[in-house]
Amino acid sequence: MEARLNLLNSPLVAKAFKHLASASKVIISESTLPSRTQDLVMLRASQINGCGFCTDMHTKDAAHAGETPVRINLVAAWREAKVFTDAERAALELTEQGTRIADAAGGVTDEAWANAAKHYDEDQLSALVTLIALINAANRLNVIVQQPAGDYQPGQFG
C-alpha cells in the first residue's frame, strides 16, 4: 500500500507540516501535562479517527517511553479497564468528546470539562486541549492520503 500523495514532497505542505510538528513538540516537551497522559491522548484520538499511521506511531512511542503493553492494549476500552487513573480517564473522556465533536450537538459536555478541570490546572488543560486539536489535525492528514502504517520507528521524527 502506498499513500495517495506524499505530503512532504510538496514544499508548501512540508512547510505547514513543520509548523504543526513544532506546535506539537512545544506541548510535548514544555507542558507539565504528564507525558504518559499525552501518549494515551494521542493514541486514543488516533484510534477513534482510524489513523493507522498515528496509531502505530503512538503505540510504539508509548512502549518506548516505558508504557506497559496492558495499558496500551486497553486504551480503546479505557472505561472498562482498571489500569488508568481518574486523571487519565478524565483526559481520555475529553479526548473522545473533543475528537467526536460532530457526534454531539453540544461538543464537549460541561461534565467532561469539569471532570478534567478537577485533575488538571489551567496550563495543563490548555496543553491537553491543544494536543487533542493537533493530533486530530495530524490524523486527518494521514487518513485523507491513506498513509500506510507499520514501518514507524520510535523517535523517527526527532
Check residue 5 and give its pLDDT.
86
Contacts for 19-22: CB closer than 8 Å, 24+ residues apart: 20/134, 20/137, 20/138, 21/157
Whether the Cβ atoms of residue 30 and residue 148 lie closer than 8 Å to each other: no
Cα gap 120→137, rounded to integer Å: 23
Q: Rounded to the nearest 10 degrees, how much is the dihedral formed by the CA atoms of 112, 118, 121, 126?
A: 0
Q: pTM value?
A: 0.94
Strand locations in 12-155, DSSP E?
none
Check residue 9 and give its pLDDT.
86
Angle, CA of 118, 81 and 120, to the nearest 5°: 15
Whether the Cβ atoms of residue 23 and residue 115 lie closer than 8 Å to each other: no
What are the structural domains of the chain?
34-145 (1.20.1290.10)
Cα–Cα separations (whole angstroms), residue 5 to 1, 10, 53: 12, 9, 14
Whether the Cβ atoms of residue 75 and residue 40 lie closer than 8 Å to each other: yes
pLDDT by 10s per residue, the chain, length 158: 788 988 878 899 888 888 998 999 999 899 999 999 999 999 999 999 999 999 999 999 999 999 999 999 999 999 999 999 999 999 999 999 999 998 877 789 999 999 999 999 999 999 999 999 999 999 999 999 999 998 989 987 76
